[in-house]
Chain A
Amino acid sequence: MNRRRLVLPRLAWRNVRRQWRRSLLTGTAMALGVAALVFARTLGDGAHEDWIDSGVRMGSGHLAVQDPEYRASRKLEDRISAADLEAVSVALEAPDIEPYVERVTPRLEVIGLANSPTTAVPVMIMGVDPVAEGAFSQLGVEQRLVEGRYLEPGDRLHVYVGKRLAERLDLELGSRLVLSAQDVMGDIAGQLVRVVGIFQTGVPESDEGIVHIPLATAQQWMGVEGDITTLAILLNSAWEVPRVLRSVRARVGAATDGVAVLGWREAMPELDAAIKLDDFWGYVFNIVLFVIVALAIVNTILMSVLYRTREFGVLRALGLTKRETATVVFTEGLLLTGLAGIIGLGLGFGLVWLLFRNGLDYSGAIENDFTFSGVVLDTLVIPVFRWVQVVMSLGSIIAVGVVASLYPAYRATKIDVAEAMKFEA
């Protein structure tokens, strides 16, 4: 019985080889389809990682530890106490969390006004630890620093402002401005600070709407010494978020009284939606691609079945069952797609590695900074290679092969043996 089963794939393979021109053409179309898929996935994943990385650095990290009400209220009363912050810091040192954590930065964020003698602009005032925040948001790096410097340890009444805000308030290095916000008691409090640096991210909302001041200054000014509103956590990779988020939630939940841990998707729903939208169009592209590939397979295998009507009649006359006849046809489709899939994977990964391993630079296609969801997109996309891409690409093409081979296989079972003998190819 095993020999009987073995003869079917052997027949199928020889039939694939027999119509080699047709197999080659179809296989090439499929391989190019898979290569295009690999191309889109590696660069698409790379772009998404970049978006997420930019987004989480400028935003509240891969993980944000906050009071459960803070995201909605943005009020100081919904803050994390110094005691809870200490408990969270201890939890982050756990062996299932600590290896995945790249950076942590505490922030005290309040909505307020930046006032000049002539005008006032609403801003998000962020009290930050200069060292931790500098490495986290990279707002002080050379590419973003327009003039002056970022905050440093020891700074007290200093502020780091965006270029647009500086222009609106007519500020320059050393200029003084007054920040005002509602303190913990509900009173409007003012704080005089001096500009030590001006940055430009390219995101208008950030360049006009964010100011950094030292955390200790903010805590003292707002009357919440030791407390923060957000502990932003940056992980080694966005891929680790679901697993680490579970661990942090479990440990922080046990160590504190109702402190919330949000993943970046919850904390930055606009960025999440943007990536999902981009993924959606990617899937649409893939579906169109695979429908074309499927039609090519159906065409090739169906033509082959019709061309070999008499041959299938002979197989049936010799004792093959309908199911076995269908198996031969089905196996032909699978062999063709499997081989084309493997070649397409090699081609796709090979070409991406060869041409774009150092990044695909599309800056020439864009005149100004490309931003959305408060994120400046890097015009150099570094492709990302993952095993899941191999599995998904190969799985997709084989699934297409399976579906596309079903109809020709079905048609092969419908051949009338006596009529097939009269068939002239």
Chain B
Amino acid sequence: MSKQPAVHTEDVWKVFEHDGIAVEAVRGVTMDIQPGEFVVMAGPSGSGKTTLLNLLGGLTRPSRGKVWIDGNDLTEMSERQLAQLRLQRVGFVFQAYNLLPVLTALENAEFSLLLRGMPDAERHRLVKALFEKIGIAGLENRRPAKLSGGQQQRVAVARAVVGEPALVLADEPTANLDTATSVALLDVMTKLNQEMGTTFVFATHDQRLMERAQRLIRLVDGAIETDDRRSAPAAQ
């Protein structure tokens, strides 16, 4: 019996209207992503990477077609159900980190667990263990403004994975980081993928990230041009 895919899309389209002109950002994407995969979606600017990522995360609805996350049809869900699905099944890592500035690193990382109603002690234990694992132990009580870009992005990764979601979507996570920090962050995510079995889907231009991809999907003009499966990602 085959495992249920973490992501399944079927002929997904996203059409935006700009000044009365229809722009097809995503055109008929059909794909499966299996649990534990480390998938990179690459392509030039405007190729539809971010839009596809938003569709997979339920942040936007397709113009037509279907998206399933962990067996749940996103296109049939209400706004409230989508919010619940994002909370329980999806983690996000954004290019600009997007930590909440009024919360400490620990509070940012535990935010989704807090929304799930997990008790304080358990939340703190999980987050602290994760901070240890990804090399930011000791920064728990710092506000984002007091963290470097690399540290902020690690906190964002911790926030995305701590709830063990079915899927982590990362949009250009290394775009604002220098080379050394990018490599260190990629090591962290590779490690989490291998040790925790977290499914990662990236949208990126970053060649280093593409080299680590277990599976590289190239998008051109909103459609999949190539879909190459490779070996498991390797920490460098």
Contact = CB atoms under 8 A, between A and B. Distances in A.
Nearest to A310: B98
Contacts of A311: 98, 100-101
Interface of A: 1-4, 7, 11, 14-15, 17-18, 310-311, 313-322, 416-418, 421
Contacts of B159: 318
Interface in B105-150: 111-112, 114-119
A417 B86 CA distance: 12
Interface footprint category on B:
20 to 34
A318 B59 contact: no
Contacts of A2: 117
A4 B86 contact: no
A310 B94 CA distance: 11
30 contacts: A2-B117, A3-B114, A3-B117, A3-B118, A4-B116, A4-B117, A7-B114, A11-B102, A14-B102, A14-B103, A15-B102, A17-B102, A310-B98, A311-B101, A314-B92, A314-B94, A314-B98, A314-B100, A316-B83, A318-B112, A319-B86, A319-B115, A321-B79, A321-B83, A417-B60, A418-B51, A418-B54, A418-B60, A421-B98, A421-B171
The listed residue with most B CB atoms (<10 A of its CB), out of A17, A313, A417, is A417
A329 B112 CA distance: 19
B188 interface: no
B117 A18 contact: no
Contacts of A321: 79-80, 83
Given A4-B114, A322-B79, A317 B86 contact: yes
B176 interface: no
Interface of B: 51, 54, 57, 59-60, 79-80, 83-84, 86-88, 92, 94, 96, 98, 100-103, 111-112, 114-119, 159, 171
Contacts of A322: 79, 83
Given A15-B102, A418-B59, A318 B117 contact: no
B111 A318 contact: yes
Given A314-B94, A322-B79, A421-B171, 13 more contacts: A3-B119, A4-B116, A14-B103, A18-B101, A314-B92, A315-B100, A316-B59, A318-B86, A318-B112, A319-B88, A321-B80, A418-B54, A418-B60
Nearest to B83: A321
Interface of A is mostly: helix
B198 to A, nearest CB: 17
A17 B103 CA distance: 12
A314 B114 CA distance: 15
Nearest to B119: A3
Contact of B92 (A1, A18, A317, A320): A317
A310 B87 CA distance: 18
Nearest to A422: B50
Contacts of B88: 319
The listed residue with most B CB atoms (<10 A of its CB), out of A15, A314, A316, is A314
A319 B79 contact: no
B59 A417 contact: yes
